[in-house]
Amino acid sequence: MLRRAMNTTNDNIIEVHDLHFSRGARKIFNGLNINIKRGQVTAIMGPSGTGKTTLLRLITRELRPDSGQILVDGVDIATLKKKQLYEMRKRFGMLFQKGALLTDLSVFENVAFPLREHTELSNRLIRHVVLTKLHAVGLRGAADMMPAELSGGMARRVALARAMVTDPDILIYDEPFVGLDPISMGVIVRLVRRMNDALGITSILVSHNVEEISTVSDCSFLISDGTVAASGSPAELHSASSELVRQFMHGMADGPVAFHYAAPNYAEQLLGRDAE
Protein backbone atom coordinates (compact mmCIF):
# COMPACT_ATOMS: atom_id res chain seq x y z
CA MET A 1 0.00 0.00 0.00
CA LEU A 2 2.67 2.49 1.03
CA ARG A 3 5.61 0.64 -0.53
CA ARG A 4 8.23 3.07 -1.86
CA ALA A 5 10.31 2.62 -4.99
CA MET A 6 13.49 0.63 -4.45
CA ASN A 7 16.80 0.44 -6.23
CA THR A 8 16.60 -3.20 -7.29
CA THR A 9 19.85 -3.09 -9.29
CA ASN A 10 21.83 -3.89 -6.14
CA ASP A 11 21.38 -7.25 -4.40
CA ASN A 12 22.28 -5.62 -1.08
CA ILE A 13 19.61 -3.41 0.43
CA ILE A 14 21.84 -2.45 3.39
CA GLU A 15 25.63 -2.22 3.37
CA VAL A 16 27.75 -1.53 6.45
CA HIS A 17 31.31 -0.51 5.56
CA ASP A 18 34.20 -0.27 8.04
CA LEU A 19 31.91 0.80 10.87
CA HIS A 20 33.51 2.19 14.04
CA PHE A 21 31.48 3.14 17.09
CA SER A 22 32.38 3.65 20.74
CA ARG A 23 30.60 4.47 23.97
CA GLY A 24 33.07 6.44 26.03
CA ALA A 25 36.29 4.44 26.17
CA ARG A 26 34.55 1.22 25.19
CA LYS A 27 34.87 0.22 21.55
CA ILE A 28 31.65 -1.41 20.31
CA PHE A 29 32.46 -1.77 16.59
CA ASN A 30 35.95 -1.84 15.16
CA GLY A 31 35.72 -2.02 11.38
CA LEU A 32 32.43 -3.91 11.07
CA ASN A 33 31.41 -4.96 7.53
CA ILE A 34 27.99 -6.47 6.78
CA ASN A 35 25.92 -6.79 3.61
CA ILE A 36 22.20 -7.52 4.00
CA LYS A 37 20.68 -8.99 0.88
CA ARG A 38 17.34 -7.86 -0.48
CA GLY A 39 14.42 -10.22 0.12
CA GLN A 40 16.18 -12.42 2.66
CA VAL A 41 15.89 -13.02 6.40
CA THR A 42 19.25 -12.00 7.86
CA ALA A 43 20.14 -12.79 11.47
CA ILE A 44 22.52 -10.80 13.64
CA MET A 45 23.85 -12.94 16.48
CA GLY A 46 26.55 -12.72 19.11
CA PRO A 47 27.26 -12.93 22.84
CA SER A 48 25.59 -10.42 25.14
CA GLY A 49 27.10 -6.95 25.01
CA THR A 50 28.47 -7.22 21.47
CA GLY A 51 26.30 -4.37 20.17
CA LYS A 52 23.55 -6.14 18.23
CA THR A 53 20.79 -3.72 19.25
CA THR A 54 23.25 -0.85 18.90
CA LEU A 55 23.76 -1.91 15.28
CA LEU A 56 20.01 -1.66 14.67
CA ARG A 57 20.01 1.85 16.12
CA LEU A 58 22.89 2.80 13.84
CA ILE A 59 21.11 1.37 10.79
CA THR A 60 18.03 3.50 11.53
CA ARG A 61 20.27 6.45 12.48
CA GLU A 62 19.12 6.79 16.03
CA LEU A 63 22.87 6.79 16.60
CA ARG A 64 25.68 8.08 14.40
CA PRO A 65 28.86 6.08 13.74
CA ASP A 66 32.25 7.49 14.70
CA SER A 67 33.40 6.56 11.19
CA GLY A 68 32.44 4.29 8.33
CA GLN A 69 29.31 4.14 6.20
CA ILE A 70 25.83 2.65 6.43
CA LEU A 71 24.14 2.59 3.04
CA VAL A 72 20.42 1.93 2.57
CA ASP A 73 19.78 1.26 -1.11
CA GLY A 74 23.06 2.99 -1.86
CA VAL A 75 22.27 6.10 0.20
CA ASP A 76 24.58 6.99 3.09
CA ILE A 77 22.09 7.67 5.88
CA ALA A 78 24.60 9.88 7.71
CA THR A 79 24.26 12.44 4.91
CA LEU A 80 20.47 12.76 5.10
CA LYS A 81 18.78 15.93 6.33
CA LYS A 82 16.00 15.62 8.89
CA LYS A 83 13.14 15.49 6.35
CA GLN A 84 14.99 12.97 4.18
CA LEU A 85 15.76 10.85 7.23
CA TYR A 86 12.11 10.74 8.26
CA GLU A 87 11.18 9.61 4.75
CA MET A 88 13.87 6.93 4.85
CA ARG A 89 12.64 5.69 8.23
CA LYS A 90 9.19 5.12 6.74
CA ARG A 91 10.77 2.26 4.80
CA PHE A 92 11.47 0.48 8.09
CA GLY A 93 9.10 -1.47 10.31
CA MET A 94 10.28 -2.25 13.83
CA LEU A 95 9.30 -5.03 16.20
CA PHE A 96 10.68 -3.85 19.53
CA GLN A 97 11.82 -6.07 22.37
CA LYS A 98 8.74 -7.32 24.27
CA GLY A 99 6.44 -5.62 21.74
CA ALA A 100 6.29 -2.15 23.32
CA LEU A 101 2.53 -1.79 22.80
CA LEU A 102 0.83 1.41 23.93
CA THR A 103 -0.99 0.27 27.06
CA ASP A 104 -3.84 2.81 26.88
CA LEU A 105 -4.82 1.87 23.32
CA SER A 106 -6.74 -1.17 22.13
CA VAL A 107 -5.18 -3.76 19.86
CA PHE A 108 -6.89 -2.13 16.88
CA GLU A 109 -5.65 1.35 17.78
CA ASN A 110 -2.11 0.12 18.44
CA VAL A 111 -1.94 -1.26 14.92
CA ALA A 112 -3.70 1.80 13.46
CA PHE A 113 -1.34 4.25 15.21
CA PRO A 114 1.35 4.45 12.46
CA LEU A 115 -1.33 4.98 9.80
CA ARG A 116 -2.95 7.79 11.76
CA GLU A 117 0.45 9.43 12.34
CA HIS A 118 2.00 9.09 8.89
CA THR A 119 -0.83 8.91 6.38
CA GLU A 120 -4.02 10.72 5.45
CA LEU A 121 -6.06 7.56 4.92
CA SER A 122 -9.76 7.66 5.73
CA ASN A 123 -11.05 5.86 8.81
CA ARG A 124 -12.77 3.35 6.54
CA LEU A 125 -9.54 2.48 4.77
CA ILE A 126 -7.56 2.39 8.02
CA ARG A 127 -10.08 -0.10 9.40
CA HIS A 128 -9.66 -2.28 6.31
CA VAL A 129 -5.84 -2.24 6.49
CA VAL A 130 -5.69 -2.87 10.25
CA LEU A 131 -8.10 -5.81 10.13
CA THR A 132 -6.14 -7.26 7.20
CA LYS A 133 -2.86 -7.12 9.16
CA LEU A 134 -4.46 -8.53 12.30
CA HIS A 135 -5.92 -11.35 10.25
CA ALA A 136 -2.45 -12.09 8.86
CA VAL A 137 -1.13 -12.68 12.39
CA GLY A 138 -4.24 -14.57 13.48
CA LEU A 139 -5.62 -11.92 15.83
CA ARG A 140 -8.48 -10.23 13.99
CA GLY A 141 -10.76 -11.47 16.77
CA ALA A 142 -8.68 -9.65 19.38
CA ALA A 143 -9.06 -6.19 17.79
CA ASP A 144 -11.05 -4.75 20.72
CA MET A 145 -8.87 -6.20 23.49
CA MET A 146 -6.42 -4.14 25.54
CA PRO A 147 -2.70 -5.00 25.80
CA ALA A 148 -3.10 -6.03 29.45
CA GLU A 149 -5.50 -8.78 28.34
CA LEU A 150 -3.02 -10.36 25.92
CA SER A 151 -0.59 -13.18 26.49
CA GLY A 152 3.07 -12.57 25.70
CA GLY A 153 2.80 -14.35 22.36
CA MET A 154 -0.35 -12.46 21.40
CA ALA A 155 1.25 -9.12 22.29
CA ARG A 156 4.25 -9.96 20.10
CA ARG A 157 1.94 -10.78 17.18
CA VAL A 158 0.04 -7.50 17.61
CA ALA A 159 3.39 -5.70 17.58
CA LEU A 160 4.26 -7.52 14.36
CA ALA A 161 0.98 -6.41 12.77
CA ARG A 162 1.78 -2.82 13.80
CA ALA A 163 5.33 -3.09 12.42
CA MET A 164 4.08 -4.15 8.99
CA VAL A 165 0.92 -2.01 8.77
CA THR A 166 2.62 0.63 6.57
CA ASP A 167 4.01 -2.04 4.21
CA PRO A 168 7.70 -1.39 4.98
CA ASP A 169 10.52 -2.53 2.71
CA ILE A 170 12.65 -3.60 5.69
CA LEU A 171 11.28 -5.24 8.83
CA ILE A 172 13.52 -5.27 11.91
CA TYR A 173 13.02 -7.68 14.79
CA ASP A 174 14.85 -6.95 18.05
CA GLU A 175 14.89 -10.12 20.18
CA PRO A 176 11.42 -11.27 19.07
CA PHE A 177 11.57 -14.62 20.92
CA VAL A 178 12.40 -13.39 24.44
CA GLY A 179 9.99 -14.62 27.11
CA LEU A 180 7.82 -16.72 24.80
CA ASP A 181 6.64 -20.27 25.47
CA PRO A 182 7.58 -22.89 22.85
CA ILE A 183 4.21 -22.70 21.05
CA SER A 184 4.23 -18.88 20.83
CA MET A 185 7.85 -18.99 19.71
CA GLY A 186 6.98 -21.42 16.95
CA VAL A 187 4.16 -19.14 15.79
CA ILE A 188 6.46 -16.10 15.64
CA VAL A 189 9.15 -18.05 13.76
CA ARG A 190 6.58 -19.13 11.18
CA LEU A 191 5.22 -15.58 10.85
CA VAL A 192 8.70 -14.10 10.32
CA ARG A 193 9.31 -16.45 7.42
CA ARG A 194 5.79 -16.20 5.99
CA MET A 195 5.60 -12.40 6.14
CA ASN A 196 9.04 -12.02 4.56
CA ASP A 197 8.23 -14.26 1.62
CA ALA A 198 4.61 -13.23 1.11
CA LEU A 199 5.30 -9.49 1.22
CA GLY A 200 8.62 -9.60 -0.64
CA ILE A 201 10.40 -7.63 2.07
CA THR A 202 13.79 -7.84 3.78
CA SER A 203 13.95 -8.94 7.41
CA ILE A 204 16.71 -8.28 9.93
CA LEU A 205 16.53 -10.41 13.04
CA VAL A 206 18.54 -9.94 16.25
CA SER A 207 18.32 -12.88 18.61
CA HIS A 208 20.20 -15.22 20.96
CA ASN A 209 17.95 -18.15 20.05
CA VAL A 210 20.22 -20.24 17.86
CA GLU A 211 17.67 -22.97 17.14
CA GLU A 212 14.99 -20.52 15.98
CA ILE A 213 17.49 -18.47 13.99
CA SER A 214 18.64 -21.63 12.25
CA THR A 215 15.05 -22.42 11.28
CA VAL A 216 14.11 -19.05 9.82
CA SER A 217 17.22 -17.22 8.53
CA ASP A 218 18.82 -17.34 5.10
CA CYS A 219 22.09 -15.85 6.31
CA SER A 220 23.54 -15.14 9.75
CA PHE A 221 26.31 -12.86 11.01
CA LEU A 222 28.04 -13.64 14.29
CA ILE A 223 29.49 -10.48 15.86
CA SER A 224 32.31 -10.54 18.39
CA ASP A 225 34.98 -8.04 19.46
CA GLY A 226 33.58 -5.34 17.22
CA THR A 227 33.76 -7.24 13.93
CA VAL A 228 32.10 -10.15 12.12
CA ALA A 229 33.55 -13.36 13.54
CA ALA A 230 31.69 -15.55 11.04
CA SER A 231 28.90 -15.40 8.49
CA GLY A 232 26.99 -17.78 6.29
CA SER A 233 23.96 -20.03 6.25
CA PRO A 234 22.85 -21.65 9.52
CA ALA A 235 24.29 -24.96 8.32
CA GLU A 236 27.66 -23.34 7.58
CA LEU A 237 27.83 -21.76 11.04
CA HIS A 238 26.87 -25.01 12.76
CA SER A 239 29.73 -26.82 11.02
CA ALA A 240 32.32 -24.03 11.48
CA SER A 241 35.67 -24.97 13.00
CA SER A 242 36.16 -21.68 14.87
CA GLU A 243 36.10 -22.20 18.65
CA LEU A 244 34.11 -18.99 19.16
CA VAL A 245 31.48 -19.98 16.60
CA ARG A 246 31.22 -23.51 18.00
CA GLN A 247 30.86 -22.16 21.56
CA PHE A 248 28.03 -19.82 20.59
CA MET A 249 26.16 -22.12 18.19
CA HIS A 250 26.28 -25.10 20.56
CA GLY A 251 25.83 -23.20 23.84
CA MET A 252 29.12 -24.35 25.35
CA ALA A 253 30.01 -22.87 28.74
CA ASP A 254 33.76 -23.01 28.14
CA GLY A 255 35.45 -21.29 25.23
CA PRO A 256 36.77 -17.94 23.98
CA VAL A 257 33.86 -16.05 25.56
CA ALA A 258 34.78 -16.02 29.23
CA PHE A 259 32.27 -16.42 32.04
CA HIS A 260 33.92 -13.68 34.14
CA TYR A 261 34.00 -10.05 33.04
CA ALA A 262 37.50 -8.56 33.18
CA ALA A 263 38.30 -7.64 36.80
CA PRO A 264 41.26 -7.02 39.13
CA ASN A 265 43.00 -9.91 40.87
CA TYR A 266 40.35 -11.64 43.01
CA ALA A 267 42.45 -12.22 46.13
CA GLU A 268 43.93 -8.74 46.10
CA GLN A 269 40.51 -7.14 45.63
CA LEU A 270 39.00 -9.16 48.51
CA LEU A 271 41.87 -8.19 50.80
CA GLY A 272 41.55 -4.57 49.78
CA ARG A 273 45.10 -4.25 48.50
CA ASP A 274 43.97 -2.48 45.36
CA ALA A 275 42.53 0.30 47.50
CA GLU A 276 45.85 1.01 49.28
Per-residue pLDDT of 207-255, as tens digits, reads 877 777 778 889 989 888 888 888 888 778 777 667 766 666 655 555 5
Percent helix, percent strand, percent coil in the chain, to nearest 5: 40, 25, 40
Mean pLDDT of 66-80: 91
SS3 159: helix
Mean pLDDT of 8-14: 79
Give 262's DSSP letter: P
Asked whether the predicted pLDDT for residue 93 surpasses 80, the reply is: yes
Other beta carbons within 10 Å of 82? 7
Kindly report the CA angle at 263 between 258 and 267, in degrees rounded to 5? Answer: 110
What integer pLDDT is reported at residue 9 of this predicted model? Answer: 60
pTM of the model: 0.78
- pLDDT tens digit string along 139-162? 889 899 999 998 888 888 898 889
In this structure, of 127-141, 159-173, 210-224, the range with the lowest mean pLDDT score is: 210-224
Please spell the DSSP secondary structure of 57-107, one letter per residue: HHHTTSS--SEEEEEETTEEGGG--HHHHHHHHTTEEEE-TT----TTS-H
Mean pLDDT of 115-135: 90
What integer pLDDT is reported at residue 99 of this predicted model? Answer: 65
What integer pLDDT is reported at residue 195 of this predicted model? Answer: 84
Asked whether the predicted pLDDT for residue 264 surpasses 70, the reply is: yes
Going 148 to 149 to 154 to 160, the CA torsion angle's sign is negative
SS3 45: strand
Mean pLDDT of 185-189: 82
SS3 177: coil
Mean pLDDT of 32-59: 88
- Give me the amino acid identity at 173: Y
